[in-house]
Amino acid sequence: MTTSINYEDKIPNNVDLSSDRRLQRALEGWQPKFMNWWGEMGPALETHGVYLRTAVSVGRDGWAHFDHVNVPDYRWGIFLAEPKPDRRIAFGEHKGQPVWQQVPGEYRADLQRLIVIQGDTEPASVEQQKLLGLTAPSLYDLRNLFQVNVEEGRHLWAMVYLLHAYFGREGREEAEALLVRNSGSPDSPRILGAFNEETADWLAFYMFTYFTDRDGKYQLGTLKESAFDPLSRTCEFMLKEEAHHMFVGTTGVDRVVARSAQLIREHDTLDIGKHGGIPLDIIQKYINFHYTVSLDLFGSETSTNAANYFTAGLKGRWMEERRKDDHQLTEHGVPLDRPNADGTWTTEELSALLALNLDLRGEYISDCQSGIKRWNKILADADLEYRFALPHVGFNRNVGMHAGFHITPDGSIVDEATWQKGSKNWLPTNEDLAFVRSLMHPVYERGKIASWVAPPTNGINGKPFDYEYVYFH
Ligand code: BYC
């Protein structure tokens, strides 16, 4: 395995693709299908060059090169993090054994399933964001959207490489199917719920990149622990790119909150809609929605799938190697609050092995709290009393033990009528969505920005905010 990336190849890669002609031909056969999919399902806006970063190495420093690129000419490639010499399995029943360079027969189906689910999310998000280029609030934001999109495309390549290289014919068929399913399609939707939701406006985009990309961070973090070394190394490098996507979300919401706070101060009212801002209660409803559909991505609180993946060494815990236990989860119990039909909660104790989805979700929730904290600080610094909060973990859930219950943001189990009455205060209504959409107009003049969002504090790669991030001719 070489670590430098060869851009002379049709498919840039650091996996020495040219030494395996069959694999290279198979991937070169998939490439035009990917390009067709990109043309049909990728960004709707045509441009003449976007200031994008492209990976040029996988090392610690200087891994990315920035330049204006015609988006369809972006060099999607296959990049794995450098191998760790003598890497050992860190958990499960094979703990201490050398990691696998090939897929063990008994784990083939499970590994393929995990890779397909991961792969399915990547093109789905590009599809969800297809129309956003028509209404970006600034050239800086437009550039960030395209950066996220091309890298999600590259993450699809990352999973397709694994399917082609290690899963034979079935893997190749799954790689084709990844381009056939489409976000929101009634006939062949994407696999996970959140990836069939619309990302119809830029507040939704910032929320998606904050909350849903953050699920990506945690899921990739657990796959990075995998005993299947090519998957581990793939995810390690994907996480590097993923950091920017979450930055777009974090700072995007920061900037909306900052602008709303400014308008509230300026006009001395929370009702800033008529002044071109997004009211804080609508922002809270967006938080409620995007956070809870993202919680669904962690699966059920008790999961034999997750237990089996862990025991087999396929999927570890977040920061597995930093955990101070036996890495086999034979001992500890985990408390879980379960809702009851009579409106009460019962605390029960679960075995840690069955509660792995819950464990990962817990890590995710505390990370999400840090966003709430920073957005509340923006409000406090503007001397406003309003505060954002994450809703109760059972609110608006469709997967796991809360599904089928009506649970309010403060954690009360309520009946259908109470839910119907309250939900317009908790989740974006059609009017809220239409209002936010009404603010979305493209602002494509250098240095200009839409009314509803503050400019960023810094530009990209040391460039100023008023840099020409996107060329239109
Ligand atoms: N929707 O044992 P359970 C990202 C199914 S995001 C629909 O509770 P398990 C990105 C499940 O398949 C990260 N179905 O779940 C972000 C199972 O079905 P079967 C994506 C669901 O398996 C932004 C049954 O329910 N990566 O990268 O422990 C932009 C019982 O399941 C859902 C991954 O997810 C759902 N939400 O956990 C771009 C990592 N949840 O087998 C990219 C790979 C569960 O009974 N995936 N089901 O037919 C996994 O690790 C696991 O499959 C899951 C589910 C965490 C998703």
What angle, rounded to 10 degrees, do the helices at 229-267 and 213-223 form?
A: 160
Assess whether the C-beta atom of 399 lies below 6 angstroms from ligand 1.
yes
Give how far Cα 145 sits from Cα of 43, 51, 356, 394, 442, Å.
9, 11, 33, 31, 13
Report the pLDDT value the prediction gives residue 9, as an integer from 0 to 100.
Answer: 82
**Closest CA relative to residue 238, chosen from 226, 252, 250:** 226
Q: Ligand 1 center to residue 214 CA distance, Å?
A: 14
Nearest-CA neighbor of 371 among 389, 356, 386, 391?
Answer: 389
pLDDT band at 104 (very low <50, low <70, confident <90, very high): very high
- pLDDT band with cut points at 50, 70 and 90 for residue 92: very high
What is the CA angle 373-377-381, rounded to 5?
A: 175
Q: Is 114 in the pocket of ligand 1 (CB under 6 A)?
A: yes
Give the start-end residues of each E strand in 284-340.
333-339
CA 237 from centre of chain: 15
Give the whole-angstrom CA distance, residue 268 versus residue 461: 37
Least-confidence region, from 3-7, 278-282, 289-293: 3-7
For the cut 80, the answer to whether the pLDDT of residue 7 exceeds it is no
Q: Give the pLDDT score at 2.
A: 45
Q: Is 212 in the pocket of ligand 1 (CB under 6 A)?
A: yes
**Of 112, 115, 116, 117, best ligand 1 pocket probe by most atoms within 8 Å of the beta carbon:** 117
Q: How confident is the model at residue 26 (pLDDT cuts 50, 70, 90)?
A: very high
Q: Is the CB of 216 under 6 A from ligand 1?
A: yes
* Per-residue pLDDT at 311: 98
- Our CA dihedral for 430, 436, 437, 438, rounded to 10 degrees, sits at 110
| Cβ 253 vs Cβ 375: under 8 Å | yes
Give the number of C-alpha atoms closer than 13 A to the C-alpha of residue 368, restricted to the C-beta side: 30
pLDDT at 57: 82
What is the number of the ligand 1 atom nearest to the C-alpha of 191? 7
For residues 217-238, give the mean pLDDT: 98
180-197 CB burial, b ≥16 within 10 A, e <16: ebbbeeeeebbbbebbbb
Q: Ligand 1 in contact with 121 (CB < 6 A)?
A: yes
- Given a cut of 80, whether residue 59 has pLDDT beyond it is no
Rounded Cα distance, 95 and 225, in Å: 12
Residue 149: CB within 6 Å of ligand 1? no
Question: Average pLDDT, stretch 386-411?
Answer: 98
User: Pick from 317, 344, 79, 309: which is nearest to 221 by CA?
Assistant: 317
300 within ligand 1 shell (Cβ under 6 A):
yes
Per DSSP, 427 falls in state: S
Amino acid, single-letter form, for residue 126: V
* The ligand 1 atom nearest the CA atom of 124: 38
Q: Across residues 41-65, what is the average pLDDT? A: 88
Q: Quick one: average pLDDT of 262-279?
A: 98
Kindly state if the Cβ of 231 falls inside 6 Å of ligand 1: no
pLDDT value at residue 115: 98
Asked if 429 contacts 450 with a C-beta cutoff of 8 angstroms, the reply is: no
Task: Tell me the per-residue pLDDT of 324-348, one tens digit each, with 9 for 90 and over.
Answer: 999 999 877 899 999 999 999 999 9
What confidence tier does 3 reach under pLDDT thresholds 50, 70, 90?
low
> Atom 36 of ligand 1 has which residue's CA nearest to it?
297
Asked whether the predicted pLDDT for residue 386 surpasses 70, the reply is: yes
Q: Is the pLDDT of residue 1 over 50?
A: no
0.95 exceeded by the pTM?
Answer: yes
The pLDDT value recorded for residue 330 is 83
Q: What digits encode the pLDDT tens for the residues 157-199?
A: 999 999 999 999 999 999 999 999 999 999 999 999 999 999 9
> What mean pLDDT, rounded, does the chain reach?
96
Nearest to 125 by CA among 7, 293, 282, 299: 293
Band (471; pLDDT cuts 50, 70, 90): very high
What's the CA angle centered on 470, arms 469 and 473, to 5 degrees?
140
Q: What is the pLDDT of residues 444-454, one digit of tens each?
A: 999 999 999 99
Which ligand 1 atom lies nearest to the CA of residue 301? 8
- Which residue matches tokens 């970063």? 53
Proportion of the chain in helix, strand, coil states, percent, rounded to 5: 50, 10, 40
Nearest CA to ligand 1 atom 4: 216
Measured distance CA(68)–CA(47) in Å, rounded: 11
Q: Does the pLDDT of residue 394 top 70, yes or no?
A: yes
The domains of the chain, with CATH numbers, are: 17-471 (1.10.620.20)
Classify 212 as helix, strand or coil.
helix
**Is the pLDDT at 62 greater than 80, yes or no?**
no
Give the amino acid at 427.
Answer: L
C-alpha–C-alpha distance, residues 344 and 350, integer Å:
19
301 pLDDT exceeds 70?
yes
192 CB under 6 A from ligand 1?
Answer: yes
Asked whether the beta carbons of 92 and 312 are under 8 A apart, the reply is yes
Distance of CA 357 from the midpoint of ligand 1 (Å): 10
Residue 240 CB partners (closer than 8 Å, separation 6+): 63
- Ligand 1 in contact with 303 (CB < 6 A)? yes
pLDDT bin (cut points 50, 70, 90) of residue 56 is confident
